[in-house]
Amino acid sequence: MSVPVLDTTLVPALGEPRPQPVPEAHDTTLPSGLRLVVVPRPGVPLVELRLRVPFAAASARAAAAHVARSAVLAGAVLLGTARHDQVEIAQLLQAQGAELGVSVDPDRLTFSTTLLPSGLAPVLGVLAELLTAATYPAGPVEGERARVAERIAIARSQPGVIARSALASRRYGLHPYGQQLPRTELVGSVSSAALRKLHRERVLPAGSTLVLVGDLDPAAALDAVGAALGGWTATGTDVPVLAVPQPVPGPLELVDRPGAVQSNIRLGGPAPARTDPELPAVRLAAMVFGGYFSSRLVENIRERKGYSYSPRSAIDHLAGGASFLVEADVATEVTGPALLETTYELGRMALTTVTEAELDAARRYVLGTTALATATHAGLASTLSALLGAGLQPGWLAEHQRALGAVTVEEVTQAARRWFAPARLTGVVVGDAGRVADALHVLGPVQVTATAEPEPGA
């Protein structure tokens, strides 16, 4: 068949948008310092719960031990309280349709679950026990340590994890963000006493946020939280997140993974924080570059050249500093050309202007998909939890949407010039050095490093 041409008269025009319902956020701070945000929402008879506790490493020197202890604590906090053992805790939650997921990232510890509405008080009761009376029993903790060590070994075998760790290490150096995965030998030496100390010092209501979204009555929810968590009154010093270091330009790092059939290209650099007025323009620039299917990077290295299945770019927000990230997993034999095209598209963003059509499409996509993502209990709860955890108000989302609506082509061009210049980005490629190094050398200086061998005795 002949190549079709888009006949715009045939494409149905968009109708009149209906306004999005605006969630009604009930925002309270309890005497303990815990901030509670409750959002009643129509929809399915469920409640979503998110509790975020600030958990960044206190210093670069303490980071390695902190990362190891945090990784064990996330699982071990569920292993027993003064009143219930691990099995009873799990069953109490399950009876309410709940299952607490506990996770750590470089900034915070998060407890999250879905639950049936009738289970709010019992689930908050279990949560309160975990927060105030987790015992970290020695035998079960030993089992958790062994599991964490095995999971780290599995994670370290994944090329995406190797690439992310290498980029973080290059970008952040000795800053705690430079250490993405705990060291196995440190995990092996985490004691119950160390976990209890970490919990006592860092699992604090001050600075923490609890978000409840869904089928609930705000006043009753506030009462239930007050009754259940009133005893969580631990006090201590808030630990500020260390600002990330200024990036130092350097050669592309090629992490050798002999025999790899693909190369993982990762580029990263700083980006404006959520509170920075330049953020809306940078977000839209990142969309136009590689943030969604209709972007320049996807059209070039996927839909025209077939080098990659899922090339992408995004703005990632950590408390110590935001990042602009570019990722592409490409066939080994086209690693050089794929990096060339990626760099070309970055340079094109930085040096030439985007079109009005590109900007409008990116803007509508961001606004539309934000509405989709917050149109469920779970999506709204996670979004609010992230915003509050970053110190923002629930109303930030609406302000940000208005700001996105006002971004101009000139602002996008300036933002890309400032943040996307290839010379400003740090680069890592994980791949078979014997097959890709020569091509990468053509494009610039390359420093080859060996993949860390899996640690023995994990």
Partner 1 sequence: MTRDGADLTLRHPVERFTLDNGLRVVLAPDRSVPVVAVSVFYDVGMRSEPEGRTGFAHLFEHMMFQGSANVPKMEHARLVQAAGGMFNGSTHLDYTNYFQALPSEALERALFLEADRMAAPAITEENLRNQIDVVKEEIRVNVLNRPYGAFPWLQLPPVAFESFANTHDGYGSFVDLESSTVEDAEDFFSRYYAPSNAVLCLGGDLDTAETERLVRRWFDVVPARPAPPTPHTGEPSPTSVRRGVVEDPLIPTPAVAVGWRVPDPVGDFDTYLGTVLLAELLSEGDASRLELRLVHGDRVAVAQSSYLGLFGDPFDVRDATMLVTQVHHPAEVPADRVLDAVFEEVARVATDGVGAEELVRVQARTSAQLLRQADSVLGRTLAFAAAELVHGRAELAGELAARLAAVTPEQVQQAARGLDPGTAAVLELRTIGGRR
**Contact between 369 and partner 1 per CB under 8 A:** yes
Query: C-beta of 43: minimal distance to partner 1 in Å?
Result: 5
CA distances from 345 to 249, 326, 342, 364 (A): 20, 11, 5, 22
- Which range in 30-38, 188-196, 218-226, 373-381 contacts partner 1 by CB under 8 A? 373-381
Residue 360 binds to partner 1 (criterion: CB under 8 A): yes
Report which of 246, 422, 264 is spatially closest to residue 350, judged by C-alpha positions.
Answer: 422
Decide if 35 contacts 209 (C-beta within 8 A): yes
Task: Tell me whether residue 158 or residue 275 sits nearer to partner 1 (CB atom).
Answer: 158
* 434 binds partner 1, rule: CB under 8 A: no
Tell me, rounded to whole angstroms, the distance of Cα 364 from its chain centroid.
23
The DSSP-derived string for 31-65 is TTS-EEEEEE-SSSS-EEEEEEEE---S-TTTHHH
Radius of gyration of the chain (CA): 24
- State the nearest-atom distance from the C-beta of 308 to partner 1, in Å: 6
Q: Which amino acid is at 17?
A: P
1 binds partner 1 (CB under 8 A): yes
User: In angstroms, rounded to a whole number, what is the distance separating the alpha carbons of residues 219 and 232?
Assistant: 20
22 binds partner 1 (CB under 8 A): no
User: Which of 37, 89 has the CB closer to partner 1?
Assistant: 89
List beta partners, residue 115. Answer: 47
**303 part of the interface to partner 1, by CB under 8 A:** yes
Nearer to partner 1, 32 or 264 (CB): 264
String of contacts with partner 1 for each residue 232-271, x by CB under 8 A: ---------------------------xxxx---------
Q: What are phi and psi of 338, to 5 degrees?
A: -70, -40
By beta-carbon proximity to partner 1, the closer residue of 117 and 347 is 117
Interface with partner 1, residue 221, by CB under 8 A? no
Q: Token pair 């972007």 is at which residue?
A: 295
Under rule CB under 8 A, residue 398 binds partner 1 = no
> What six digits make up the tokens of 420?
């996307």
For residues 266 and 327, the answer to whether their CB atoms sit within 8 Å is yes
Binding residue (CB under 8 A) for partner 1 from 19, 249, 277, 445? 19
Among 23, 60, 86, 418, binds partner 1 (CB under 8 A): 86
Task: Count each helix (H run) and each strand (E run) in the chain, helices first.
Answer: 16, 12
Is the Cβ–Cβ distance between 111 and 102 less than 8 Å? yes
State which residue, 248 or 357, has the beta carbon closest to partner 1: 357
Task: Return the residues of window 115-154 that contact partner 1 according to CB under 8 A.
Answer: 115-116, 140, 143, 146-147, 150-151, 153-154
CB of 347 to partner 1, least distance (A): 22
- Footprint on residues 187-206 left by partner 1 (CB under 8 A): none
